[in-house]
Amino acid sequence: MPQIEFINVSKEYEPGKKVLDDVTFKVEPGEFMFVVGPSGAGKSTIIKLLTKEEMPEGGDILFNGESVLNISKDSVPGLRRKIGVVFQDFRLLESKTVFDNVAVALEVADSNLEEIRSIVPNVLNMVGLTDKMFKYPKQLSGGEKQKVAIARALAHEPDVILADEPTGMIDPDSVDDVLEVLEKINSLGTTILMATHDQEIVNAMKKRVLRIERGQVVSDKKGGKYRA
Amino acid sequence: MSNIKKEKLLSVSNILIMTVTFVLLGLLINVVVFSQTALRYLEDQAQVTVFFKDDFNEAKINELKDSLSKDKRVSELVYVSKEDALRIFREINKDEPVLLESVSASILPASLEVRAGKISNLKPLAEELKIIDGVEEVRYFEDVVSRFKFWSTVVYIIGTLLVLVFLVVSYSVVIAALRATINSKGVEFEIMKIVGASDDYVKVPLIHHGVFFGLFSSFIASVLMIILGVVITLTNVFPRGLGIGFLPGVFVAPWVFSIILTFILLLSGFLLGYLGSSAAIKKYLNY
């Protein structure tokens, strides 16, 4: 059973202007897939639809075989705990330490202090930030901030990590570090769906590439390449 | 100015506005209860006094008294004989011996004080008594009571309008305060939602925030009302206590009433905070 399935999905934010037009694709468990395309192609919309931040005008979206569209409002938090999201702008809380930024994900799920104290150092260790646990975001580099965001996304041990342009705001030297962490997570069985328009990264990683242009899937190749 | 300072200033001004609302609400309720108590006192005192001609002797007066005592509109009858009238006159004018010397019981009229259960019955009773042969004069103070009623009503209406205006202002203040909080914590709320926070996890602290504003402001107003209640108790302005409008014949000590008022104010504070914050969450967080 595919982990993620988009079936003829259409989405428009304004009447008549389709951001996604009849998009269909599947992602198997444990896959690493790039969603590529120019800005405004609809990459971020795919992530928002999957986390039920947005609703499509047509089609269906399945996650682990269950329609996301039919999930009740009360079940949306549960869905979001199975899907970790990483953003280009990190979305960290500047007033909280690295530890606390990761802990937020557990606190909202009513985890107790013991669980938080055990899980947070583990995920920070996985992304290589154990020594920065009590630093504040402003004391970190762009790459480190993104790793904190990845650690936060990992806190619930999600089935999938959705990364929306995760290397877009970090210095070139840190890009490899972040990709390395994502590959490591993927190797442990977590599905990764990464939206990007960085052709160097896509071509270097040699993963499945789903190309979207003007809201439509124009190609879907394993070990594919991308030329912007 | 830093955000924290701005937030503190905003919170203080919000609490001040809401405190004014609850003080006004407390004062309005007090004014209503005080005026009702005073009105009841006036109504109790309101009576028709029938003065008789000299030829209308005591036997005839007693006959009239008997027939009036069967009248359901009459609650109490007091006969004041010429001698009683002289005694009262002497008591009132005890410091004026010249005046006392010139007055004897024979020149003072006997009278009958007629009290009605309902103040509205005074006028028809007075009209009926006026036309009885042997009645010299009928006096009653309808004007005092009706004027007091009129001004009490005016005070209720103005006070209620004022309280309603301030309630609307306070409701808006709660919404504005939470709007500021929601704006300043927008990223935090967004992150919470992304990482799987339930609606309640985001909403409940904001509801607490609004309820805190309401309860804290109403608590300050309640303390002021308790002080007012203690002062009124100590000064003995209402010796019988305060009349509770919807419970006829029930009087409570002013300090007891101020405790009842405290509960009313705290409940109002809670409701205002809860409803205001719920509205703000719905409006600005799309919940």
**pLDDT in tens for each of the 287 residues of chain B?**
555 577 778 788 888 888 988 898 888 888 888 887 887 777 777 788 899 988 888 888 889 999 999 988 888 899 998 888 888 888 888 888 777 777 777 788 889 999 887 777 888 888 899 898 889 999 877 667 677 778 778 877 887 888 888 888 888 887 887 787 777 777 888 889 889 998 888 889 889 988 998 999 999 999 999 999 889 888 988 887 887 765 666 788 888 888 999 999 999 999 989 998 888 888 877 65
What burial letters (b/e) apply to B218-255, b meaning 16+ CB within 10 Å? bebbbebbbebbeebbeeeebeebbbbeeeeeebbebb
Task: Classify residue B244 by its DSSP letter.
Answer: P
CATH topology of domain B47-140: Alpha-Beta Plaits (3.30.70)
SS3 A199: helix
The domain locations on chain B are 3-42+146-284, 47-140
d(CA A115, CA B229): 53
Classify residue A207: in a domain, yes or no.
yes
* This model's pTM is above 0.90: no
Q: Which amino acid is at B19?
A: T
Question: CATH number for the domain including A212?
Answer: 3.40.50.300
**Domain ranges, residue A99:** 4-221
Classify residue A92: in a domain, yes or no.
yes
Chain B residue with the nearest C-alpha to that of A153: B195
d(CA B263, CA B229): 14
Chain B residue with the nearest C-alpha to that of A151: B195
Evaluate whether B143 touches B150 at the Cβ level (below 8 Å). no
For residue B177, give Cα distances in angstroms to B6, B13, B167. Answer: 11, 10, 15
- Domains: count for chain A: 1
B71-110 residues touching A, CB cutoff 8 A: none
Work out the end-to-end distance of chain B between its first and last CA atoms, rounded to an integer number of angstroms.
31
B196/A77 touch (CB, cutoff 8 Å), yes or no: yes
A80/B194 touch (CB, cutoff 8 Å), yes or no: yes
Cα B230 to chain centroid distance, Å, stands at 16
Task: Classify residue B121 by its DSSP letter.
Answer: G
* Number of Cβ atoms within 10 Å of the Cβ of A180: 13
